[in-house]
């Protein structure tokens, strides 16, 4: 059996089949090639104090070789497949709140500090800033249109955020686009309101064309004074009042359509009717809340005025200012509730919509 001597003096024997292989001295750690002793080892590194360690070498040392038996090799790192790290544990998504739970949260949305601050900022803009700029001539008119445009855009964002599943109110912001952020929202609101009033407007115009009498006072109240005037004027113009009620019934789905897709879907009345028929219960709840929001604030204002008349005392400027601020805040709260409920109708029942939104 051939033998080999390391440069440190240690002598080793090795099997013939290991000739020409590299090995490591178990005494000094030097790495050399296994050759005959007469030839001498071919050292690769001979530094006893600091033996060379080849980082690429992964073979066995001499003391690990079974020189009298079969070859035993230590497996290299490449022989073991790399174990991929386990993916992090992700908790299952929290189930979405039910429709009733969302309705309850919507009525109490002001309990969130962020929502309360947003509502107060909007209230200050509408109840304080808007009346002040209304007396400023041309500049006041421009400021009035600017504030109303921002508020119209904010209202559409309330509908869209509720439809997207967001519990908080959107922020009131202006990024410099007067057309897209001021004039376009105003035009959308006017278009949605004209769309629901179109049957009543058409009927009044038809009566005028045929020369039939029209109660202008009752009709004006129906169109411009709000739904609180509807009971007192229903006898004078029953058909016009019925058509306005029909328009109010369609108002939530119209506003939702304009908020999500724009005014280009206003003519798809067929899809709106199919959608309502597929989800009559939730839509009726939405309509009731919207109608209550229309009449609650004016009813509060009328109640405050009636109480003042009953007491016989003339309210001072401070009292009128305070009562007006309260009415404005209540009206804003009810408006935001109604808009969020419209968005919730889409959020929970979009699978029944005849439109292809979110499907």
Kindly give the confidence (pLDDT) of every residue in the chain, 359 residues in length, as a single tens digit, with 9 standing for 90 and above: 677 777 777 777 777 777 777 777 777 777 777 776 554 444 554 444 445 455 555 555 544 444 444 454 555 555 555 555 545 544 444 445 688 888 888 889 988 999 999 999 999 988 888 888 777 778 888 888 898 999 999 999 999 999 988 878 888 878 888 888 889 999 999 999 889 888 888 888 898 888 888 777 767 766 666 666 666 667 777 888 888 889 889 999 999 999 988 888 888 899 999 999 999 999 999 999 998 888 887 777 777 666 666 666 556 656 666 777 788 888 899 999 999 999 999 999 988 898 876 54
> What integer pLDDT is reported at residue 227 of this predicted model?
64
Element housing 218 (H / E): helix 216-224
> What integer pLDDT is reported at residue 90 of this predicted model?
45
Q: What is the pTM of this model?
A: 0.67
Place of tokens 């919730």: 344
Distance CA 156, CA 86 (A): 44
Distance CA 304, CA 289 (A): 22
Quote the tokens at residue 13: 């024997």
| Cβ atoms 14, 65 nearer than 8 A | yes
Distance CA 102, CA 173 (A): 26
Q: Which residues contact 226 (CB under 8 A, 6 or more apart)?
A: 294, 295, 298
Sign, Cα dihedral of 94, 98, 99, 101 = negative
Q: Which regions of the chain does DSSP assign to beta strands (E)? A: 3-5, 11-13, 22-24, 31-33, 42-43
> What integer pLDDT is reported at residue 159 of this predicted model?
93
> What integer pLDDT is reported at residue 67 of this predicted model?
47
């Amino acid at each position: 059996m051939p033998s080999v001597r390391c440069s440190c003096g240690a002598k080793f024997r090795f099997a013939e089949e290991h000739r020409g292989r590299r090995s490591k001295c178990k005494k000094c750690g030097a790495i050399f090639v296994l050759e005959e002793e007469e030839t001498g080892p071919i050292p690769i590194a001979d530094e006893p104090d600091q033996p060379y360690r080849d980082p690429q070498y992964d073979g066995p040392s001499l003391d690990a070789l079974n020189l009298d038996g079969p070859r035993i090799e230590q497996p290299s790192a490449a022989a073991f497949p790399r174990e991929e790290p386990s993916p992090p544990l992700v908790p299952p998504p929290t189930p979405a709140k039910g429709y009733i739970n969302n309705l309850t949260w919507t009525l109490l949305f002001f309990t969130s500090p962020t929502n309360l601050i947003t509502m107060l900022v909007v209230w200050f803009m509408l109840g304080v800033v808007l009346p002040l700029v209304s007396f400023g001539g041309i500049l006041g008119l421009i400021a009035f249109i600017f504030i109303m445009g921002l508020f119209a855009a904010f209202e559409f964002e309330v509908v869209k955020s509720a439809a997207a599943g967001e519990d908080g109110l959107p922020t009131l912001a202006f990024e410099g686009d007067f057309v897209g952020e001021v004039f376009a929202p105003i035009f959308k609101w006017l278009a949605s309101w004209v769309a629901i009033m179109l049957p009543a407007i058409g009927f009044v115009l038809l009566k005028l064309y045929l020369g039939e009498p029209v109660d202008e006072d009752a009709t004006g109240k129906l169109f411009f004074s709000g739904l609180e005037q509807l009971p007192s004027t229903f006898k004078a113009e029953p058909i016009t009042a019925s058509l306005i009620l029909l328009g109010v019934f369609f108002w939530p789905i119209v506003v939702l359509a304009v908020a999500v897709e724009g005014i280009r879907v206003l003519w798809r009345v067929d899809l709106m009717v199919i959608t309502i028929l597929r989800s009559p219960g939730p839509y009726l709840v939405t309509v009731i809340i919207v109608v209550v929001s229309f009449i609650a604030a004016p009813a509060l204002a009328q109640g405050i005025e009636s109480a003042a008349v009953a007491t016989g005392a003339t309210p001072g400027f401070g009292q009128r200012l305070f009562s007006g601020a309260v009415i404005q805040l209540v009206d804003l709260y009810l408006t935001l509730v109604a808009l969020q409920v419209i968005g919730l109708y889409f959020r929970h029942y979009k699978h029944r919509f005849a439109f292809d939104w979110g499907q």
